[in-house]
Amino acid sequence: MISYVIINQSEVSSLDFDTVLNTNSDLLRYSLDGSQAIVKYEGTQPFELSGKTEYTEESIKDVVSGPEWYDLDAVI
């Protein structure tokens, strides 16, 4: 099962991309202000993500449709 977590932008540089499905920092989904990023992984939560809230695909869709992640004005 694929899971998602949200990390602070300051944590991206210490992320071990061998333990997650994102292959590099350019492929992360960032919040509109760039302060947070979404990381996805399969199976057991990687150690460096310990204690972070896990999201399912459905629940992360709810998060990214919110105002911190999605600019409705840019779509219209």
Write the pLDDT tens digit of every residue in 9-39: 999 999 999 999 999 999 999 999 999 999 9
- pLDDT, residue 39, reads 98
| pTM, full prediction | 0.90
Q: Indicate the number of domains in the chain.
A: 1
Between residues 74 and 2, which one has the greater pLDDT?
2
56: domain range? Answer: 2-75
The answer to whether the beta carbons of residues 55 and 3 sit under 8 Å apart is yes
- Specify burial of residue 4 (Cβ count, 10 A radius: 0-12, 13-18, 19+): buried
- Rounded to the nearest integer, the mean pLDDT of the chain is 93
Asked whether the predicted pLDDT for residue 56 surpasses 70, the reply is yes
